[in-house]
Every structure is written in structure tokens, then in C-alpha cells.
Amino acid sequence: MLCYCFSHMPSVTSAPIRIALLPIVAFCVQAYRICCQEWQKNSHAFTSKCGIRRRIWRGPASCTAQRAAAMIKRNFVVQYSTWRTHAAAGELMALESLQRVLAIVLTLILPLFALLAIRGPVDGAGDTTAGFWGAKTASVNWCERDYAASYYIAELANSLTSLCLVATGIYGVCAHVTLVELRYLLAFFSFVVIGLGSFAFHATLLRSMQLLDELPMVWANTVFIYICRSMNDRGNSCRIAEVIVLALLTVLATLAVVIFDTENQNVFLLCYGSGVQYLVWSSYVFCQKSANSTAWLLFTTAMLCYAGGFLLWLIDRNFCHSVRPLYLHVFWHFGADLGTYAAVLLWIWIRSEVLARKVVLRGRSLLSWHIAAAPQE
Ligand SMILES: [Zn+2]
């Protein structure tokens, strides 16, 4: 019934808002249902002096609203922890399934990537709708319709979902601040910078804001590559020569993106993509050496989220006019965010193994996963 109502909402309400509202409404309906049950169970019916049939609360003497809130919370926690128990029991099976899905995703990526390379993108380049930020000077215009939902934000869904990177970065820093070396905190901080840059880019479609999105992605790769290069270092040894080479390469990549990418994103995609390839390969080698199931779980999850997001990004760019209502770029933001977060967790895990620190992976799902020191025995 809920799905029916949502699919027939007025057309002014865009699809992402409907999708976001669905769980909230489902939660409210569930809460209301529990409140009604509690009320029925703990109340007593009587007829007032005016002859009106009424009910009065006969439950424990505590505040009714407080009890209702506690009931709702308990109900959801029980449902969630039951699901968690099943998930933990089948962890290895889940890992195998994840790997199978990953193989399918990677196989699908290849032809779509080839199509994009041969034919070029088919996205929102011809969208002439004007808005607050004036001429669209960015070298790319994504599939989402410009200024469709707001006069002040060019791509509302893409802009808002960029902020999930900011939240992930802040969570990463807060959850690991006492556990990890500075470079890992810098890695989490780069999520915040990328998220804000991405928000500005999607909101304005200006070239200057596009650089605020793309350049931090290249710089973050530099931090990630340094993390992988120094994975087996003992203590705080500093790799002066490598830092200088990495810094020079980063400056060159920055200049190349600024100078040559005025018509398209090719130089950026080349610089960023080659960094990602190096990171994937390094992470794979770490997992092979570690042979730990948690490391493999983190690696597979990271790959699946990132590659899944990239697959949707490719579909969006190749078939924009057919898939526009699906807002697939939004899911690229989620996939890249969670995938990169899982990759940083993997590097923290591997680093802890190198330093012989006992750690555990905590959290109920990828959204709350974090590495923590193992409890003392
Ligand atoms: Zn984006």
C-alpha cells in the first residue's frame, strides 16, 4: 500500500525524496502500530458521564510517551539483532556470495567501459535550463536534470548525496582517532574535503567547483598510495624520497587536470583511475599475504561497493536518456563512499597485523563498521 501511495505522489516530488521518505514513513507506521498495541493492552474502556465511550491508561505509573518510545526502540533492536546473528553465522558463506557477485559486476563493467571509451558519454550536455549559478562552465554535465528541483542547486540529488562522504569522513576520524597513525586520519579527512567539493560541483556546475571535486580525489589517492607504500614500515620511519616523488607526481597531475581538462574529464579520469588501479592491486596483495577472513571480507566489500557504484556510473553515462529517472549517479556516490571507507578499514587492519596489535572489526553493518583494539584477556 505504501509503495502504491509513493508511486502516485504528485510529480513535483522527485524520486530521491520519495525513496528517502519511504523508510521514514515505514518507521512511523510501525511505531504507530506498536503504540496502538500497547495502548490496547494497558488501557481500560469506560463510559464517561456524558455517555461517551473512552479509554484510560492503566499501565505502569511511568510516563506513557516514555514507555511507548522504549517499546518502539526495543522492538527495532530485537528485530535488528536477530538479523545480525544470522548474518554472523553465515559470514564465510556471505563472503563467497560477495565474491561471486563481484565477479559478475567486474565482467559487466568491461563492455560498458569499452562503449564509453569508443562512443563518449551520452549525458546531460544539452541541458540548457538556467539557474542561480549562471553559465555552466564545468567540462561535464551529469545526467540529472539541471535546476529541476531548486533554482539555487543545479543537481539536488547529486549534491545532497555528496554529503554522505562528509559524514563518513567525520565518523572515520572520530572512530579511529586514538587507534591509528596520522596518515589514516588524513585519509578519513580527505573524505570530508571531497564530499564538500562534490557538493559544490553538483550544486553549481562551475569549472572552478569541478576542480574542488576532482583535485581532492587525486590528492586523496596520494595519501592512500603513501599508506600502502609504508604498510610494512616499522615504527614511524619516514620515506623522504618517496614522499618527494609522490608530491611531484601529484603536482604534475594537478597541473595536467587544470590545464588540459577544459573540454572533458579524460586527464582526470586517467590520473585518478591509475591511482585506483594501483590501490586495488596493493590491497589484493596485502590480503593474499594476510590470508585473514576479515581482511578478505573488507577487501571484497570495498571492491563490490566501489565496482557496483562504478557500474551504475557507466550505465548512467552510456544510457542517460533511458535511465534518467533512476538517478544512478547518486548510487555511485554511495558506492564510492562506502567502498573507499572499507578499503581504509582494510589498510588499518593490515597495518595492525604488521604492528602485531590485536584489533577487532566492530559495528553491525558497513555503515557503522570500525576497527577497535581487541579487549584485554
Ligand atoms: Zn558526483
How far, in Å, is the centroid of ligand 1 from the Cα of 337?
Answer: 11
Q: Which amino acid is at 294?
A: T
Domain ranges of the chain: 1-38+65-89, 94-373
How far, in Å, is the centroid of ligand 1 from the Cα of 205?
Answer: 11
How far, in Å, is the centroid of ligand 1 from the Cα of 147?
Answer: 16
Q: Which helix (H) or strand (E) holds 43?
A: strand 43-47
How far, in Å, is the centroid of ligand 1 from the Cα of 198?
Answer: 6
How far, in Å, is the centroid of ligand 1 from the Cα of 279?
Answer: 21
How far, in Å, is the centroid of ligand 1 from the Cα of 208?
Answer: 15
Three cell numbers, residue 368: 557503522
> Which stretches of the chain are DSSP H helices?
2-7, 15-42, 64-89, 91-119, 156-176, 182-204, 207-229, 240-260, 266-290, 293-318, 320-323, 328-354
155 known member of a binding site = yes
How far, in Å, is the centroid of ligand 1 from the Cα of 328?
Answer: 10
How far, in Å, is the centroid of ligand 1 from the Cα of 250?
Answer: 21
Report pLDDT digits (tens) over 158-215: 999 999 999 999 999 998 988 888 889 999 999 999 999 999 999 998 888 989 989 9
329 known member of a binding site = yes
Give the pLDDT confidence score for residue 53 in this predicted structure. 63
How far, in Å, is the centroid of ligand 1 from the Cα of 315?
Answer: 14
How far, in Å, is the centroid of ligand 1 from the Cα of 12?
Answer: 23
Q: Are 359 and 179 in contact (CB under 8 A)?
A: yes
How far, in Å, is the centroid of ligand 1 from the Cα of 162?
Answer: 7
Half-sphere exposure (CA, 13 Å, Cβ side) for 86? Answer: 5
User: 0.75 exceeded by the pTM?
Assistant: no
How far, in Å, is the centroid of ligand 1 from the Cα of 30?
Answer: 34
Give the pLDDT confidence score for residue 222 in this predicted structure. 93
Walk along the chain (377 residues) and give the pLDDT tens digit of each residue.
444 444 444 433 445 445 555 555 665 665 566 666 666 666 677 666 566 666 666 655 555 556 655 655 555 554 445 444 544 545 555 667 777 788 888 888 888 888 888 877 777 666 777 778 877 788 888 888 888 888 888 888 899 999 999 999 999 999 898 888 888 999 999 999 999 999 999 999 888 898 998 999 999 999 999 999 988 887 666 678 888 988 999 999 999 888 888 777 888 888 898 999 899 999 988 888 887 778 888 888 888 899 999 999 999 888 888 888 888 899 999 999 999 999 999 999 999 988 888 888 887 777 888 888 888 76
Pick 94-373's CATH classification: 1.10.10, 1.20.1070, 1.20.5, 3.90.1140. 1.20.1070
202 known member of a binding site = yes
142 known member of a binding site = yes
How far, in Å, is the centroid of ligand 1 from the Cα of 297?
Answer: 26
